[in-house]
Amino acid sequence: LVGLSMLVLAIVMLFYESKKINYAWIIGVVLAWIGFLMFCFHLGLRWYIAQHPPWSDGFEMLVFVAWGVLLFGLLFNSKTRFSLPLGLLFSGTLLFVAFLDWLNPEITNLMPVLHSYWLKIHVAVIVSSYAPLALAAIMALLSLIFIIAKPNSCDSKWKNSLEELQLVNEMAVTIGLFLLAIGTFLGGVWANESWGRYWAWDPKETWALISVMVYAIVLHLRLIPALNHRLVYNLASMWAFSSIVMTSFGVNYYLSGLHSYAKGDPVPVPGWVYWVGATLLIISVVAYWRDRQTRKLKN
């Protein structure tokens, strides 16, 4: 609710500013920091009770990613005012999904392979990479919505907001890709200690590599003149996150491999996933059409 309110305020501030709106924004930032501190206390308490880091299964991973999304939303708040509202909204959405009845929040004993200091290093690094990539995806979605709603004669604030979102998106993808690549290499070291090999094309390993390659392509699209366009980057950044969803959840629940210890109970594909996918596809098509119309008007 705080995130939604701040998102409305951020959009209103594109057209109109006043002391009351600024005070309301400051209150939202304070509430966000209070929520973040409570979130940190929750993770610390769960770590203390469980006697192991709180990122050992699907539920804990989702909660940890939600914490990371809020953290990066706060860190990027000075770059664009949309990062914090989006961070709050997406973090709250992830928490809502985590506490649905198809993920088990119970604190359980660790599998033998997880009794390793690498749980604190490899898993923390690779799951931390999901947070900035998730924030980048939701920023890309907002940018596409802005492209759709862009007036024919938009002012400088509208253009600056799109440029700020693009800049922060690239920063988030850069940080996420760096963490994802380092985490993948560290996973190979842990695999060598546990199973006697660095790489065996296990589904989890394979999809981690696919995610690294996908985001490497996204980050280097601007180096190709024909693809150096805001629409192309935002579409790629948004849809690239599906590789992370597959790596983090799809592999655990729908493919068998050595990493199945984190999967928990079998989970059917929720119906809302198809609706979300269809909605994102419609937004992508409309944004492409709207951008094409804008180009024709300029020409």
- Dump pLDDT digits (tens) for 171-184: 999 999 999 999 99
**Range list of H helices, 51-116:** 58-75, 83-98
Instruction: Write down the pLDDT at residue 113.
Output: 66
Residue with tokens 């990479």, as numbered in its chain: 129
The residue-averaged pLDDT of 12-25 equals 88
Lowest mean pLDDT among 13-22, 30-39, 100-109, 133-142: 100-109
**Residue 62 exposure: Cα atoms within 13 Å on the Cβ side:** 21
User: pLDDT for 229-259, tens place per residue?
Assistant: 889 999 999 999 999 988 887 777 776 655 5
**Confidence grade of residue 261 (pLDDT, cut at 50, 70, 90):** very low
Report which of 6, 16, 179, 19 is spatially closest to residue 90, judged by C-alpha positions.
Answer: 6
**Confidence grade of residue 68 (pLDDT, cut at 50, 70, 90):** very high
The residue-averaged pLDDT of 249-272 equals 64
The residue-averaged pLDDT of 122-136 equals 90
The first and second tokens of residue 113, run together, are 């392979």
Burial (Cβ within 10 Å: 0-12, 13-18, ≥19) of residue 116: middle
pLDDT at residue 137 above 70? yes
Instruction: Write down the pLDDT at residue 156.
Output: 72
Instruction: Write down the pLDDT at residue 124.
Output: 86
pTM value is 0.87
Instruction: Write down the pLDDT at residue 13.
Output: 87
SS3 assignment, position 126: helix
pLDDT at residue 135 above 90? yes
Instruction: Write down the pLDDT at residue 259.
Output: 55
- Distance CA(100)–CA(104), nearest Å, equals 9
pLDDT at residue 152 above 70? no
pLDDT at residue 47 above 60? yes
The three-point CA angle 5-6-11 to 5° equals 100
The residue-averaged pLDDT of 58-79 equals 91
241 in Cβ contact with 134 (< 8 Å): yes
Report which of 202, 211, 208, 209 is spatially closest to residue 257, judged by C-alpha positions.
Answer: 202
- Distance CA(155)–CA(270), nearest Å, equals 41
Instruction: Write down the pLDDT at residue 266.
Output: 55
Percent of the chain with pLDDT over 90: 46
Query: What crossing angle do the helices spanning 203-220 and 230-245 adopt, rounded to 10°?
Result: 170
**Residue 295 exposure: Cα atoms within 13 Å on the Cβ side:** 9
- Distance CA(160)–CA(146), nearest Å, equals 12
CB proximity list for 133: less than 8 A, separation 6 or greater: 172, 173, 176, 177, 180, 215, 240, 241, 244
Residue with tokens 């693009």, as numbered in its chain: 166
Task: Give residue 269's region: left, alpha or beta (phi > 0; psi -120 to 50).
Answer: beta
The residue-averaged pLDDT of 10-38 equals 91
The residue-averaged pLDDT of 199-215 equals 89
What DSSP designation does 1 have?
Answer: -
The three-point CA angle 70-73-79 to 5° equals 170
Percent of the chain with pLDDT over 70: 91
Lowest mean pLDDT among 152-166, 203-217, 236-250, 255-269: 255-269
Task: Give residue 256's region: left, alpha or beta (phi > 0; psi -120 to 50).
Answer: beta
